[in-house]
Structure 1
Amino acid sequence: MRVVITIQHPGHVHFFRHPIAELEARGHDVHVFARESDVAIALLEAYDIDHEVLAGESDSLLSLAAVQATYESRLLARARRVDPDVITAIGGVAAAHVASVLRTKSVVFYDTEHATLITKLAYPFADVICTPSCYRDDLGAKQVRYPGYHELAYLHPDRFDPDSSVLESVGLDGDDEFAVVRLSSWEASHDVGHGGLSDPRAVVDRLEDAGLEVLLTAEGRPPADLESAQFSTPPDRLHDLLAHASIVVSEGATTATEAAVLGTPAVYANPLSLGYTAELESEYGLLFECTDENRQRCTLEAIDSILAQDEETWAHRRNRMLEDRIDVTSFVVDRLERHARHRPIERPLTADSHHR
């Protein structure tokens, strides 16, 4: 079959990386189209994924509309030439629109309930919408729920083995205990009007007082008094770092969840709770949500609680989570093969066929 995959965010590259390899190994023809966004293109290149960039970055909601229109029109032109049997994406606005025009199938993967702009634009046009079983919304007959998280498409132990050599690249050795702090830019369409930590400096101080080295990563420029804590590592090595950290504090749900499924306890400081962050807290105790107006105080208390536990606690909780959850890459490949448009089998003409 012919598959079109659209990429508009670094997380989409991670999610589809292994499905692309699996699909190609099965003999399918995969075409990847991307919109320039943050480090998405750098990741595609790092993983040696053949792709074409169709549109640039946007720097505001107004420019996003223009960029999205350009992206969709170019994707339509490319997809028309490919004539795909299925188009897939995370979120899937462009994918669902283009598939409906070409009368082919679209399979959309999504896990963010509060991204209402994306869901209103994509869901009505999508043929199949795959969500984690903990997704809070009922989407009707189109919805397929699965017992997993997006992050288990690339961080399941069958897909990922952490490499400790990353520590040397950030000036650490194997005996150093460290924390990763992730600050968001709050510029995504579903983040407008929200915020995370009121005082990141106090969070860093609390971690350092506990004897941890602090590595800070920020979308955009970090606060001036925290620039010395900022580190740099290739984007394809960040997960190695999260796996070896003692704790991760993140304003973004993806980084917090990546840490949690790797068995590194995470604090998620953000006013927007999600089905999967809530489940990782309530069912497995791997993530601590700080989502009310007292996020700053909650974060500091969660740090103290996490650091009072021993390492075996987190390994045990992760193992229990993995017993309940699936390798999401296998699910993705299965769904694309299952829902793709089925073409009639073209049989070569023979002398006998003329007589029949």
Structure 2
Amino acid sequence: MRVLFDVGHPTDVNVFRNVIKKLEEEGHSTKVTARDKENTVELLKTYGLDYEVSPHYKGMLNKALGLPRADYFVYKVAKKFSPDVFVSAGTPYAAQVSKMLGKPHIAFPNTEHAKLAIYLSKPFTDLICTPTFFKRDLGKKQTRFNSFNELTYLHPNYFTPDESIIKKLGLEKDRYVLIRFSALNSHHDLSAKGFEFKNESEVLEFIEKIEEFQRVVITSEVKIGSKFEKYKLNVPSDKWHDFLYYATMYIGEGAKTASEGAILGVPAIYVSNTRRGYLDELEEKYDMAYTIPDKNDALNKAVSLLNQDNLKGIWRSKREKMLKDKADTVEFIVDIAKKYGEK
């Protein structure tokens, strides 16, 4: 069987890399088509995946104008590779090209807010696989599974934390709080609002309050003032989850990092006026993550948690319960791919 994976974001590389590894161990052939977005190519190289890359178009207008070019790129690679099945997180390119070539496309969307991508891909998709807590009904093509997409790479079967990176970064494990500022410029972020600090003084006041408890580390997709340079760390992309695992807490505008942190047993506060089904599951069922729209309320929540004794121990116990409840997502994706690709 030959499987073409189309990835549009670094997270997609993580979601599918262990699926690809398992398929190849079973003797199947794989190929990855990718957009050159953020550190996607770096991850593809790190994990030794067979890939071809096309430009990433920024902004809604450029994305719209670039759609035919992106389709043509995937089409050229697919014609040469001759896949039996296409797999993606729900990209319109894989879906549309699969229909041109008369092959099935399986989508694994993870956020309800990716309305445009779902709209453009759904008519050409054979099966849409979403977690049970995905809050949209996508009709008869949709099937649900009881797990998180993030468990394809953060489940203990596939992830063992490497403590050595913490020492290299000059940190102590479980003794730092990660604060993340996001660009909020993806198509699913169109109405999103995060911290909304009015000035640098407000940012500094927020940081200094957290510093009363632990060291603060900042990562940012947006440019921040020179006075915050001392808080910034450059973490190697393939060590990001090791770094996140040993944080005491995550506070930020990135929903994906919030879910990854919680799934790793790190208390997570997502500062946003938007909600995600996977974060609601982590909050309502497991009390591991919190979506809070107001930065002051988020700060108060963070302080209340940091005042707790054995905070990480409590979250590790919550993580164990969550892991017992959820299915192995890698096995699920492999089985679905084989079902459709070997027809």
The TM tier, using the shorter chain, reads over 0.9
1:317 partnered with 2:304: no
1:273-317 deviations in Å (ceiling 9; x for gaps): 0111111001001101113xxx11221121022213323211111
CA contact (8 A) 2:193 2:274 kept: no
Q: Which amino acid aligns with 2:271?
A: A
Which residue of structure 1 aligns with residue 73 of structure 2? Answer: 74
Which residue of structure 1 aligns with residue 200 of structure 2? Answer: none
Q: For residues 146 and 205 of structure 2, what CA distance do their matches in structure 1 show?
A: 37
SS at match of 1:91: coil
- Residue 89 of structure 1 deviates from its aligned partner by 0.6
- Residue 91 of structure 1 deviates from its aligned partner by 2.1
Q: Which moved more, 1:21-30 or 1:312-321?
A: 312-321
Q: For residues 170 and 67 of structure 1, what CA distance do their matches in structure 2 show?
A: 39
Q: For residues 282 and 196 of structure 1, what CA distance do their matches in structure 2 show?
A: 21
CA contact (8 A) 1:267 1:303 kept: yes
1:331 partnered with 2:332: yes
Aligned counterpart in structure 2 of residue 220 of structure 1, from 217, 222, 226: 222
- The structure-2 alpha-carbon separation of the partners of 1:97 and 1:341, relative to structure 1 and needing over 3 Å to count, comes to farther
SS at match of 1:179: strand
User: What do you get for the CA RMSD once the two structures are aligned?
Assistant: 1.4
Structure 1 segment 187-336 matched on structure 2, within 5 A: 187-199=185-197, 200-210=203-213, 212-291=214-293, 295-309=294-308, 310=310, 311-336=312-337
Q: Which runs of 5+ in 1 are unaligned?
A: 343-356
- The structure-2 alpha-carbon separation of the partners of 1:205 and 1:7, relative to structure 1 and needing over 3 Å to count, comes to same
TM-score between the two structures when normalised by the length of structure 2: 0.94
Which residue of structure 2 aligns with residue 25 of structure 1? Answer: 25
Which residue of structure 2 aligns with residue 354 of structure 1? Answer: none
- Residue 268 of structure 1 deviates from its aligned partner by 0.5
SS at match of 2:189: coil
Q: For residues 166 and 68 of structure 1, what CA distance do their matches in structure 2 show?
A: 39
Q: Which moved more, 1:64-73 or 1:33-42?
A: 64-73
Q: Which amino acid aligns with 2:170?
A: G
- Residue 68 of structure 1 deviates from its aligned partner by 3.1
TM-score between the two structures when normalised by the length of structure 1: 0.91
1:34 partnered with 2:37: no
SS at match of 1:185: coil
Which residue of structure 2 aligns with residue 153 of structure 1? Answer: 152
1:69-116 deviations in Å (ceiling 9; x for gaps): 212111112212222110011122111111111111000001211111
**Percent identical:** 34
- Residue 224 of structure 1 deviates from its aligned partner by 4.2
CA contact (8 A) 2:8 2:91 kept: no
Q: For residues 20 and 201 of structure 1, what CA distance do their matches in structure 2 show?
A: 43
1:140-171 deviations in Å (ceiling 9; x for gaps): 22111111111111000111011111112211
Runs of 4+ with >4 A deviation: none
CA contact (8 A) 2:7 2:91 kept: no
Q: For residues 233 and 158 of structure 2, what CA distance do their matches in structure 1 show?
A: 26
SS at match of 2:50: coil
- The structure having more radius of gyration, on CA atoms, is 1
- Residue 341 of structure 1 deviates from its aligned partner by 5.2
Q: Which moved more, 1:93-102 or 1:61-70?
A: 61-70
Q: How many residues align?
A: 336
Which residue of structure 1 aligns with residue 167 of structure 2? Answer: 168
Q: Which moved more, 1:184-193 or 1:256-265?
A: 184-193
CA contact (8 A) 2:250 2:261 kept: yes
Q: Which runs of 5+ in 2 are unaligned?
A: 198-202
Which residue of structure 2 aligns with residue 98 of structure 1? Answer: 97
Q: For residues 233 and 67 of structure 2, what CA distance do their matches in structure 1 show?
A: 32
- Residue 223 of structure 1 deviates from its aligned partner by 4.2
